[in-house]
Amino acid sequence: MSIARGAPLKAAGRVAALLLAVALHVAQAAPLAAGDTWQPVTLADAHDRPFTVGAELQTVVFTADKATSDLVAETLGPQAAERLRERGAVVVADIHAMPALVTRLFALPALRALPYPIGLAREAAQTADWPRSKGRITLIRLRGGRIEALQSLAGAAELRAALALQAP
């Protein structure tokens, strides 16, 4: 029995191509959509404690840039923790693209000062399939472990209306 020269390399190349295709498929996961089952994710909060975004929640307020994160904090106000708790809601911020030095010196101290806990996505994969638009807040509505609706909110008035908050 003879083995053709280069056959092991060809087989290894096929395996590598297959693995690359699988990795690309996983990396390009479809964005979340209404009707999908919510997959709980555990992040860290601003104090490096576990922060689980579980299926028992009713609302996830998701920000992917500093401007929307600031807008959420300003809109929720000093009673934010109570307001979120009453509504079965949490806030999650995607900070994976922020430089480490900026995160450590500026962002984390500011996030620790917020009057509510905030989940931090520090790796792109943690929220890769969560919808986002620059300058907009994403609201993910959950019911019974499923995504009921997704909303893209432009400002404080829309966020107050979505969370049924009184205007200041």
Is 11 among the domain residues? no
How many whole angstroms separate alpha carbon 53 and alpha carbon 57?
7
What is the number of structural domains in the chain? 1
CATH code: domain of residue 36: 3.40.30.10
- Spatial neighbors of 107 by CB under 8 A, at least 6 apart, are 95, 98
Is 2 among the domain residues? no
pLDDT band at 165 (very low <50, low <70, confident <90, very high): confident
Q: What is the pLDDT of residues 107-151, one digit of tens each?
A: 999 999 999 999 999 999 999 999 999 999 999 999 999 999 999
Residues spanned by the domain of 59: 31-163
β-partners of residue 20 are none
Are the C-beta atoms of residues 27 and 128 closer than 8 Å to each other? yes
**Statement: residue 67 has pLDDT above 80:** yes
